[in-house]
Amino acid sequence: MADAPWLTIVGLGEDGPAGLSPASRETLDQAEIVMGPPRHLALLPELRAERIEWPVPFADGVARLLELRGRQVVMLASGDPFWFGAGSVIARHLERKDWCALPGVSVFSLAAARLGWPLETTVTLGLHAAPLTRLRPYLAAGQRVIVLVRDGAAVASLAESLVETGFGESTLHVCEALGGPRERLRICVAASLALDDISHPVCVGLEVAGDGLALPLTPGRPDMVFENDGQITRGPVRAMTLAALAPRPGDHLWDIGGGSGSVGIEWLLSHPSLGATTIEPRPDRAKRIRRNADQLGVDRLDIVQGFAPDALDNLQPPDAVFVGGGLSADMLTWLHTNLRDGTRLVANAVTLESESLLAQAQAQYGGNLLRVELAQAGSLGSKRGWKAAYPVVQWSVTL
């Protein structure tokens, strides 16, 4: 058939062909070329197909694969290619008619079956090619997580990270080569990990325990989790700001005048589909934002060092914009002129001059103007009293 796909992505487990469906075995028998990692190719019996080893780095293999267009090609991937696997990477480079997939049993399913954990309530993360810090938002006592990691050294790094964040009491179920003849499952505690012979491929079933700080699920997380130099939107105001920005699945945020990056980071923590770009003119603060984002598990935060509005040219168009610093009449005019209709804009002010700008903007463009005064109880001699913070004026509008 003219429209038949030339590429089939086959999920292969550690048991090799024994675990393949009849359709997958037939596809391999009829293939002209089989391309995959050496470990996967070694599991196959003799075939008529030419074998091509997938190179390192992975991206080089994508280019080689695309050169084979028009021939009957099988690409080997681990388990389910579309669950933290290579399938989605390949699909981005092809039209839908060019490929089909025959998934195998995922390592998450195998791990859950060994541990007796319900997958619907277990966090699953693929960190074999991503920073271990992406685990941070899920660290809370009692939480169960299944994590794919690169190798034995990564298991040791995972244990060290858990100790550093106060969760060294966590139990690690180290699962090696699940589903194959080399399968092994060992249990240890993060703080006393002493395994030096962990074999690839490996995943870890993590039962989180310890007295480390669990990040709340709602905005307004403690200021202490953000490294800052005093330039930070405080927790209660941050919660109010995120509510006004109203993140929705798939949205992208511009955080103008990032400071510590707290608003952009909290935006990203709201949902894994969200994106954000922080614009910060000071290099020291831009570096600090990078550290905060990485440590809190949202390394996908984009950081642009520069002054708005000049630094806003050619950025991904936003669905929402927060102006936390550098507020000016020129900036508000630029935003109103250049942003798409429907963009949500939120700006905070604490000085009389910036309050005046927001009052004028609200009169000109509409939206809501809100003034909030916060006070915190503190010592007043031998008694207690209220210590007031600067009032915050917030303007929010849908352009």
Per DSSP, the residues of 202-230 read EEEEEE--SSPPPPPSSS---GGGS--SS
On whether residue 2 sits in a domain, the answer given is no
Q: Is the pLDDT of residue 3 over 80?
A: no
pLDDT, residue 246, reads 97
pLDDT, residue 17, reads 87
The pLDDT of 158-176, averaged and rounded, is 97
Q: What confidence tier does 4 reach under pLDDT thresholds 50, 70, 90? A: confident
On whether residue 218 sits in a domain, the answer given is no
Using the 3D structure, point to which of 147, 181, 207 is the last residue of a domain: 207
CATH number of the domain bearing residue 257: 3.40.50.150
Q: What are phi and psi of 102, to 5 degrees?
A: -125, 90
How far apart (Å, rounded) are the C-alpha atoms in residues 302 and 68?
35
Q: Is the pLDDT of residue 146 over 70?
A: yes
Average pLDDT for the chain: 94
pLDDT, residue 257, reads 93
* Domain that residue 144 falls in: 108-207
pLDDT, residue 333, reads 92
- Whether 234 and 355 share a structural domain: yes
Q: What is the DSSP letter of 3?
A: T
On whether residue 275 sits in a domain, the answer given is yes
- Whether 47 and 130 share a structural domain: no
pLDDT, residue 222, reads 94
How far apart (Å, rounded) are the C-alpha atoms in residues 394 and 244?
9
Q: Which of 179, 21, 207 is nearest to 114 (CA)?
A: 179
Q: What confidence tier does 6 reach under pLDDT thresholds 50, 70, 90? A: very high
Q: Which of 247, 223, 246, 393 is nearest to 324 (CA)?
A: 393
The pLDDT of 55-72, averaged and rounded, is 93
Q: Is the pLDDT of residue 121 over 80?
A: yes
- What is the percent of the chain where pLDDT is above 90? 88
Using the 3D structure, point to which of 56, 90, 105 is the last residue of a domain: 105
**Greatest pairwise CA separation for the chain in angstroms:** 88
pLDDT, residue 129, reads 87
Helix (H, G, I), strand (E, B) or coil at 171: strand
On whether residue 181 sits in a domain, the answer given is yes
pLDDT, residue 324, reads 87
- Whether 301 and 357 share a structural domain: yes
pLDDT, residue 147, reads 97
pLDDT digits (tens, 9 = 90+) for 364-383: 999 999 999 999 899 988 99
- Structure-block tokens of residue 58: 């992975």
- Whether 238 and 384 share a structural domain: yes
- Whether 17 and 143 share a structural domain: no
> What single letter denotes the amino acid at residue 398?
T
pLDDT, residue 366, reads 95
The pLDDT of 257-261, averaged and rounded, is 93
Q: Is the pLDDT of residue 253 over 60?
A: yes
- Whether 137 and 261 share a structural domain: no
On whether residue 236 sits in a domain, the answer given is yes
- Whether 114 and 233 share a structural domain: no
Q: What confidence tier does 223 reach under pLDDT thresholds 50, 70, 90? A: very high
- Whether 165 and 311 share a structural domain: no
**The 123-126 sheet, strands edge to edge:** 123-126, 144-149, 202-207, 171-176, 184-189
On whether residue 131 sits in a domain, the answer given is yes
The pLDDT of 201-211, averaged and rounded, is 97
pLDDT, residue 1, reads 42
- Whether 316 and 179 share a structural domain: no
- Whether 176 and 323 share a structural domain: no
On whether residue 213 sits in a domain, the answer given is no
- Whether 257 and 197 share a structural domain: no
On whether residue 217 sits in a domain, the answer given is no
Using the 3D structure, point to which of 84, 105, 126 is the last residue of a domain: 105
pLDDT, residue 18, reads 87
CATH number of the domain bearing residue 178: 3.30.950.10
The pLDDT of 150-154, averaged and rounded, is 94
Q: What confidence tier does 248 reach under pLDDT thresholds 50, 70, 90? A: very high
Count each helix (H run) and each strand (E run) in the chain, helices first: 11, 19
The verdict on pTM exceeding 0.85 is yes
Q: Which of 231, 301, 315, 304 is nearest to 266 (CA)?
A: 301
How far apart (Å, rounded) are the C-alpha atoms in residues 125 and 60?
25
Q: Is the pLDDT of residue 232 over 90?
A: no
- Whether 44 and 151 share a structural domain: no
Q: How many domains does the chain have?
A: 3
CATH number of the domain bearing residue 100: 3.40.1010.10
